[in-house]
Amino acid sequence: MDNVVEEIKTRLDIAEIVQEYVRLTRAGTNFKGLCPFHTEKTPSFMVSSDKQIYHCFGCGEGGDVFSFVMKMEGIEFPEALRILAERAGVKIPPRNPKMASQKTKFLDINRVAAAFFNKVLLESSKAQVARDYLKRRQVSDETLDRFQLGYSVEDWDALNNFLMKRGYSVAEIFAAGLTIKKDRGDGYFDRFRGRLMFPLADAHGQIVGFSGRILKAEEKAAKYVNSPQTLIYNKSAVLYALHLAKKVIQKEKLAVVVEGQMDVLASHQAGVENVVASGGTALTQEQVRLIKRYCQVAAFAFDMDVAGAEAARRGLEIAWQNELETRVVQLPFGKDPDECIKKDPAAWPKAIAEARPFMDYYFDKIFKDHDPANVQGKKTAANLFLPLVRRLPNPIEQTHYLQKLAAKINVEERYLRDLMAAVKLTSTTTLEASLPKTADLKDRTQRLAEMVVGIGLCRPEHLEFIIKDVQPEHLKIKEISELYKNLVIYYTENNRFDLKDFYSALAKKDSRQVELSKQLCLLVETEYSELEKDDPAMIKKALIEAIPFLKRQYLYSELKRLEDELRIAEESGNKESIRTLSEHITRLTEELGQLNQ
């Protein structure tokens, strides 16, 4: 194995790998850039192609190409070895499957499953419906091959049986997200049946999941079925076709984000290859960070109906938090890029070149619906536009759009500034989006935990809803979790809630928790007292968003802990612990998958 590692290092230039994550500039014989492992304004991160190492003189992080990829991707050595070996064109010697990590097994299973689906599409008579569909959609054989498209036959267990013959266990196939447990009796059946299969890959081309499109109209069947959350698949952290688009994105300094896989296929086939798909949702924090590895600008080509515009707006807020410039592509015709390309291939790159900043697009959209000549139109337009202006990170940009709005509705800029300062949030702004933009994940988790418990304390009409869904361990922050336990105990014992009486009960146990309770109530009052006047349902909306977020973060951390324990058990050969931990991981993974549906 040492020989393989050295051969990979010899074939790869560490600077080329690092530049997929960090913008580097030449510094003599070396390269320098801003460190990806800590926040800095002056570059202290150095990369040496000669020595094949990196080192940050600010935080002390350093190592070779393997340690860099492991740290950036949050993976173990076997996964980094696989990624870099494929990049270098080096074959890895066969290994004992029993010694493989759980993640590596899932990657193997998905790779074999993708090959199976692809072979079925190309050769099986049962896949004729899929081949006919692709022909109608003008998908070429080259595109089919490049994107590894496949087909899942309508049999109940075709894939499961195939994978079992290849040596994978029923439990492993299920945990990889490819089968579903039967409702009655024992056994499993294939998750994907009678669907055109799109393998979903990470940035390195490793298949982490699948998306299956149904080809026969069925009322009860979902148009698309995706893999559930697994140890290797997180829907929020995947952009379809990024592994194929990333080099062109770097070259063009622009990522074009579309909704569906067919849009991506049509665009790449037409020669526009800096295109990825978000899966039909707003960009997530993880997806924005992926894009920022390769460029600073993202152009949305969403269907700009109400849902599409809202998805773009939500993605915009996350993009701003991460300093990613956002534009909107307006199609001259067709409901989506695929339809536009089919009618006139030249219209698509032209529309991308003419993409407008989201604020300009949204400004014009507002005034298509609201007349600036009358008072109500002016008020509505200002109420819609000012919250977005307030979120702009640059004061020059803020001033530009305030002046533009002032001129449009014929109102002095200073009045708009006063109005913008008075409006904390709009009724459509989500709780998570209202958090400080510099907050990291830990800060957001704590703030949401504080908000949920605070709502329980000072808005007891929501207490039943909270207690039904939130467990103390979901809150993670020790003092908040302890306060919540006492809150639940008090409510359960008394079957009612009185804040003053609760304070008295708390004071007998821990006076510090009384102070914490008051702080949380103040937090809720500050954030929501004015908003509730305009939208009485705001608190409930906040809880509906916050509770799943807290549960997901808890499940992520639990899965990481169990994965570490499983790795130790695998190394020691403790079969009982391996079985118990694997079952626990599967159960939590299922719960996480249900949350993400």
For position 229, which CATH number holds?
Answer: 3.90.980.10
Examine the domain organization and report whether 464 and 519 are in the same domain. yes
State the pTM of this model. 0.64
Examine the domain organization and report whether 67 and 144 are in the same domain. no
Residue type, 153: V
Closest CA to 563 of 543, 577, 552: 577
Contact 58, 38 (CB under 8 A): yes
Examine the domain organization and report whether 419 and 443 are in the same domain. no
Q: Is residue 428 part of a domain?
A: no
Beta strand 325-328 with 356-357 is antiparallel
The residue among 208, 233, 258 that closes a domain is 233
Examine the domain organization and report whether 194 and 111 are in the same domain. yes
Examine the domain organization and report whether 227 and 140 are in the same domain. yes
Q: Is residue 138 part of a domain?
A: yes
For position 42, which CATH number holds?
Answer: 3.90.580.10
Residue type, 239: L
Beta strand 150-152 with 195-201 is antiparallel
Q: Is residue 79 part of a domain?
A: yes
**Can you tell me whether residue 62 is helix, strand or coil?**
strand
Examine the domain organization and report whether 446 and 542 are in the same domain. yes
Q: Is residue 430 part of a domain?
A: no
Q: Is residue 496 part of a domain?
A: yes
CA distance 450 to 119: 52
The residue among 88, 123, 146 that closes a domain is 88
Examine the domain organization and report whether 167 and 273 are in the same domain. no
Examine the domain organization and report whether 17 and 130 are in the same domain. no
Task: Count the domains in the chain.
Answer: 5
Q: Is residue 432 part of a domain?
A: no
Q: Is residue 429 part of a domain?
A: no
Q: Is residue 431 part of a domain?
A: no
In the block, tokens 């990049």 appear at: 87
Print the domain residue range for 452: 438-597
Closest CA to 267 of 307, 240, 237, 289: 240
Examine the domain organization and report whether 253 and 375 are in the same domain. no
Examine the domain organization and report whether 159 and 254 are in the same domain. no
pLDDT per residue rounded down to tens, the chain (597 residues): 568 888 998 999 999 999 888 888 887 778 888 988 887 778 888 888 887 888 887 787 888 899 999 888 777 788 888 889 988 888 877 655 544 567 888 999 999 999 999 999 999 999 999 999 999 999 999 999 999 999 999 999 999 999 999 999 999 999 999 999 987 778 899 999 999 999 999 988 899 999 999 988 765 678 889 999 888 898 888 999 999 999 999 899 999 999 889 999 999 999 999 999 987 667 888 899 889 888 889 998 876 555 555 666 667 777 876 778 889 899 998 889 999 999 999 999 999 999 998 889 889 989 988 999 889 999 999 988 898 888 887 788 889 999 999 999 999 999 999 888 876 543 333 333 333 333 344 467 888 898 899 899 988 899 999 999 999 999 878 889 999 999 999 998 998 899 889 988 888 888 788 878 887 776 676 566 555 666 778 888 888 888 988 988 888 888 888 888 888 888 888 888 888 888 888 888 878 777 765
